[in-house]
Amino acid sequence: MSSTQDSHSAVSRQAWHQGAAATAVVAGVFSAVLSALMVADSLRSRAEDMRKADRLAELKAALRDRPTDEGLKAQIRELDVRLRRSFFHGSQRINAGRWLLLAGVAVCLISLKSAAALRKKLPMPRAAVPDPNALSRRARLSRWAVAAVAALLALIGAGLALTASSILSEREPAAQDVALPSDEEFARNVARFRGPGGGGVSAYANVPTAWDGKTGEGILWKAEVPLGAPSSPIAWGDRIFLTGSSKERLEVYCFEAASGKLLWTHVATGIPGSPAERPKVMEGVGWAPSTPATDGARVYAIFATGDVLALDFSGKRLWARNLGTPENSYGHASSLATWRNLLIVQYDQATADDKKSKLIALDTATGRTAWETKRDTPQTWATPIVVKTPTGDQIICCGDPFVCGYDPATGKELWRAECLGGEIAPSPVYANAVAYVANAGSYAAAIRTDGTGDVTKTHVLWKAEDGLPDIASPLTNGELFWTLTAGGLLTCYDARTGKRVWEKDFEKNCEASPSLAGDKVLVTTLEGVTHFVAAARELKELGKAELGEKCRTCPVFLDGRIIIRGEKHIFCIGLRK
């Protein structure tokens, strides 16, 4: 019996010896690989941080020469955040690596010691009695030893994978890490189609009212735009952004606001998923009808191909993707909007039965889809607005037949009102907790935005049928509401009751949406003539000014200046100081 027990002990000892030796080898390899990764990460982090620190110093030096350069300030903010996040992430990786390395070395040493102890020979047994179950017991013990080693190896492997993933991962800051501008900064700049809130209302009342593009009177500068498009410019600080297209090229431009100098051109090529063949678009519209958007740190553009991209203020591409070629009879033309760290895209297409229309939110730092909401509408060309309501922030979108409000954080539909129809191009506007919409072939309507579900019977304040627009978006100051037809008929309504107050027919084609600056409504005809009308209950024409070339775009209002894009040029209008 003693001989049999000795035999069992030897079998068990051998199995555990093999397991301990294997664990020591794996733990040693793990520790060596982890050490190499930590050293490589440390060297790369130092080099990258030094490069960013040098760049930050250069930007700060440039800011001393240009203290009012908002674009430069935005770059400094973003780079500073990247440096701080890189430091904290690096510290976390080093601490995690140290603990994993300590654990790996400890496991390796303990396993080596155990393997050495188990290797010592037992006394030779005397006249061992053959045990018919010895082989099965040995096999069972070996399986248990192997299982134990495998479990340990799995834990070590998971640690190594997590560590390597952390060390080798891209260390760009998440979208919420970017220091976003304040609401006041957004209000001072023109970060999207029709400016703050998408309402076409200027933050400044001191806008010029007299200029002549042919003679140069009132023109501070005039610059040629390489490629034409009906998209409007946007502005942030001393930067003006706009897009252009041809059959061969899709481009984003950046001009200096003070001088009109073209600072850079970015060609939108090499975008994954971009269609090899351009989709058909309406003649004269091209593939860049959508106005870009900015959050003060990046500029975003979308084209009729479904390509959307993000650039920094120096023109460097940060990310690009294709949303799928839109099925749109005239070409996708909805412009972009932003909300916090999200880029909002109204991507309506095909027919309602096809169920292809959707509202999309993309992470502004990465371009990844944050959320996506299906929409019960066919193709439209309207642009969403993002507004602050008494019940919270909302995205408001026009569709056929519903106007809808959405939660910008989740994409959840909050309310809908059935009051529109036809081919919808005009965008909504908002004032005093009320959304205003209008479209030819249906109605103009006012909708309270504090409802939930279908609010058609409970929250539609009024409807009207006169002077309905087919291209231009409406305008409101909360007291009055204006619509502009493609034929040049401007209609003024009482915003509270929907009663028509007056109308003025300019008898000229108009595609640009009307705007409000102080106490003046600006209406620009297709020929490039801007008419000034008093924003009052009594119709009063205040004058006009000529650009000298055709115009289909909305103006950008700055302090004492107006930026207008014509058919071939971009103009800065104002008084010389």
Least confident interval from 93-102, 336-345, 447-456: 93-102
CA distance 349 to 354: 9
Residue with tokens 């975008």: 271
Q: Which fold has domain 2-173?
A: Ferritin (1.20.1260)
> pLDDT-based confidence at 39, cuts 50/70/90?
confident
- What pLDDT was estimated at residue 82? 63
DSSP 212: B
- What pLDDT was estimated at residue 422? 96
CA distance 526 to 177: 43
- The sign of the dihedral angle between the CA atoms of 200, 500, 526, 470 is positive
Of residues 283 and 354, which shows the higher confidence score? 354
Least confident interval from 50-54, 312-316, 404-408: 50-54
- CA distances (Å), 309 to each of 181, 268, 279, in order? 20, 8, 18
pLDDT, tens digit, 9 for 90 and up, residues 230-269: 999 999 999 999 999 999 999 999 999 999 999 999 999 9
> Residue 573 pairs with which residues in a beta bridge?
219, 562
pLDDT, tens digit, 9 for 90 and up, residues 414-446: 999 999 999 999 999 999 999 999 999 999 999
Residue 90: pLDDT over 80? no
Taking residues 27-47, report their average pLDDT. 77
Taking residues 1-15, report their average pLDDT. 57
Q: 407 near 394, Cβ under 8 Å? A: yes
Q: 492 near 514, Cβ under 8 Å? A: no
pTM listed for this prediction: 0.74
CA distance 310 to 52: 20
Report phi then psi at 15, rounded to 5. -65, -45
Q: Where in the chain is the domain with CATH 2.130.10.10?
A: 183-574
Residue 146: pLDDT over 70? no
Least confident interval from 25-39, 121-135, 300-314, 529-543: 121-135
Residue 68: pLDDT over 90? no
- What pLDDT was estimated at residue 148? 55
Compute CA 376 distance to the chain's CA centroid, rounded to the nearest angstrom: 23
- What pLDDT was estimated at residue 40? 79
| % of the chain surpassing 90 pLDDT | 68
- What pLDDT was estimated at residue 170? 39
Least confident interval from 55-59, 62-66, 320-324, 400-404: 62-66
pLDDT, tens digit, 9 for 90 and up, residues 481-521: 999 999 999 999 999 999 999 999 999 999 999 999 999 99
CA distance 535 to 480: 8
CA angle 532, 536, 542 (to 5 degrees): 25
pLDDT, tens digit, 9 for 90 and up, residues 314-365: 999 999 999 999 999 999 999 999 999 999 999 999 999 999 999 999 999 9
- What pLDDT was estimated at residue 131? 55
Residue 560: pLDDT over 60? yes
- What pLDDT was estimated at residue 169? 41
- What pLDDT was estimated at residue 513? 98
Using DSSP's 3-state secondary structure scheme, residue 234 falls into strand
pLDDT, tens digit, 9 for 90 and up, residues 298-311: 999 999 999 999 99
Sorted by sequence, the CB contacts under 8 Å of residue 236 that are 6+ apart come out as: 70, 71, 74, 189, 190, 191, 294, 296, 299, 313
- What pLDDT was estimated at residue 173? 40
Q: Where in the chain is the domain with CATH 1.20.1260?
A: 2-173
Q: Which helix (H) or strand (E) segment is 63 a member of?
A: helix 2-65
| DSSP per residue, 241-281 | EEEEE-SS-EEEEEEETTT--EEEEEE--S-TT--SSPPP-
DSSP-derived pairing of the beta strands 529-534 and 541-546 = antiparallel
Of residues 550 and 30, which shows the higher confidence score? 550
pLDDT, tens digit, 9 for 90 and up, residues 168-200: 443 444 444 568 899 999 999 999 999 999 999
How many C-beta atoms surround the C-beta of residue 127 within 10 A?
6
- What pLDDT was estimated at residue 161? 53
In this structure, which CATH number among 3.40.50.970, 3.40.50.10470, 3.30.70.260, 2.130.10.10 belongs to the domain 183-574? 2.130.10.10
Task: State the chain's mean pLDDT as an integer.
Answer: 87
CA distance 315 to 296: 13
Of residues 129 and 42, which shows the higher confidence score? 42
Sorted by sequence, the CB contacts under 8 Å of residue 305 that are 6+ apart come out as: 250, 274, 275, 278, 279, 287, 322, 325
Q: 408 near 360, Cβ under 8 Å? A: no
Least confident interval from 78-87, 383-392, 533-542: 78-87
- What pLDDT was estimated at residue 343? 98
Q: 200 near 473, Cβ under 8 Å? A: yes
